[in-house]
Amino acid sequence: MLFLAITLTSCGGGTLTDEQRKKMREGIEDIKIKQVSDAEIVTAAMDDGRRVFEALEKSNFDTQAKERIARDAKVKVRYIKPGTNDALEVENQIIQAYIVGSVTGATQDNIQKLRSGAATGLQDYDSLLYSRPIVANQPDGSVNILGVWNIYLAKKEVVKSLSKK
CATH of the domain at 60: 3.30.450
Instruction: Give the confidence band of 8 by pLDDT, cuts at 50, 70, 90.
Output: very low
State the residue range of the domain holding 104. 38-163
Residues 147 and 82 in one domain: yes
Please state the rounded mean pLDDT for residues 1-19: 59
Residues 24 and 53 in one domain: no
Report the alpha-carbon distance of residue 112 to residue 117 in Å, rounded: 16
Query: How many structural domains does the chain have?
Result: 2
Residues 6 and 43 in one domain: no
What pLDDT does 59 receive? 96
Please state the rounded mean pLDDT for residues 155-162: 89
| Amino acid in position 150 | N
Lowest-confidence range among 2-6, 59-63, 80-84, 92-96? 2-6
Residues 130 and 57 in one domain: yes
Residues 13 and 43 in one domain: no
Please state the rounded mean pLDDT for residues 109-134: 81
Host H or E run for residue 110 = strand 110-114
